[in-house]
Amino acid sequence: MDGLHVAVTGATGNIGTSLIRRLSRDDRVASVLGVAVRPPQWRVPKTSFVAADLAEDDLTPMLEGRGAVVHLAWLMQPARDPAATWRNNVLGSKRLFEAVARSEVGTLVHSSSVGAYSPRVDHRAVDETWPTDGWPGAAYTREKAYVERLLDLFEERHRHVRTVRMRPAFVFKRKAAAEQRRLFAGPLLPGRLADPRLLPAMPVVDGVRFQAVHADDLVEAFRSALFGTAAGAFNVAGESMTDMRSIAAMLGARPVPMPFAAARAALALAWRARMTPAPPELLDIVARLPVMDTARVRRELGWVSHHTADEAFGEFIEGLRTGAGGPTPPLRSRIEGGRIGEFATGVGGRP
């Protein structure tokens, strides 16, 4: 019996590389098509790669004959050009969903985010019925929420397509550390933080905490969704939560309390000075995120987390310390021109 033919968008990123590795070893998978803007030289069994811009290219031919599509593609930068991220993230997703319908794909698994959820009102955990209106102050949450509405419409019009929405917490792994430093911290953050003398103290904002999940754990939820019968939304996060004091301990730094308003003002100043690619609204997002209840993914998909939030984030720290990277253009440890090359992009001004 022929196995499942799967297409994966965003195949060369943090989640995509872990998913493709796992699918390539699954006997139920016949082939994997990795879709990316920049196909890698990376060679994986049963896997081929194709270059495509979701917002512009004809997507239907590459999806024909595919039993399932996993949509991971998402653009975080350029944060200073929200029209560009909207084009890729919202219009690209819309065009992909339309191509899925035209190509008669049986299963669509979409990677949404905890960022799609409306702000929390307290620390009680929320399940998948919590509103997904996002937070209007940041492009990331606006776009995640808008794509949720596109999926609502897609499900209404195409009931024959089994549609699954994964809503993961922050996703980390060792080999994605260089990419995430470039996306969120920028060229001024020292890569090798093993020596506490480089970071003797660290400002911490008490009360800012978040859930995290290891990429390798997360893709097991995607894999279970591909071969199961469940549909709808699933919260995915590792055990416990982490906070800035835990991160300071991982770095060997002394925590120095800082009021939220002061931390946000400092980040806003660094943003305006083009010292960081992360806008201050990202701190606003973290402060507003609800805590997700993960009972459904564990119950219906049999999902198990093998890493706590601290362990997942700890791999990111270890990746920074060792200069870890991956075999694809987004994950490589060093971009052309090094950190000077990062400044040349305008630090959040263009990809």
160 and 202 inside one domain: no
Domain co-membership, 266 together with 323 = yes
> Consecutive 10-residue runs of the chain (351 residues): their mean pLDDT?
91 98 97 96 96 97 96 96 96 98 97 96 91 95 98 97 98 96 89 67 91 98 96 96 93 93 96 95 94 97 97 94 93 88 82 69
Residue 301 resides in a domain: no
**Strands 29-36 and 47-51: what pairing?**
parallel
Q: Let me know whether 317 and 276 are in one domain.
A: yes
Instruction: Specify whether 110 is located in the same domain as 185.
Output: no
Is this prediction's pTM over 0.85? yes
Domain extent at residue 262: 172-210+241-290+308-344
Instruction: Give the Cα separation of 158 and 151 in Å (integer).
Output: 10
d(CA 16, CA 36): 10
134 in the same domain as 204: no
Residue 91 φ/ψ, nearest 5 degrees: -65, -40
Q: Which two tokens stand for residue 72?
A: 């991971």
Q: What is the pLDDT of residue 316?
A: 94
Q: What is the pLDDT of residue 192?
A: 66
Helices 309-322, 244-251: axis angle to 10 degrees equals: 40
Burial of 189 (0-12, 13-18, 19+ CB in 10 A): middle
What's the pLDDT at 1? 45
Which of 297, 351, 336, 342 lies closest to 109, judged by CA?
A: 297
Number of domains in the chain: 2
Q: Indicate which CATH number applies to the domain containing 157.
A: 3.40.50.720
pLDDT in tens, 155-211: 999 999 999 999 999 999 999 999 999 999 998 887 766 556 677 889 999 889 999
Which pair of tokens denotes residue 120? 């929390």
Measured distance CA(128)–CA(11) in Å, rounded: 26
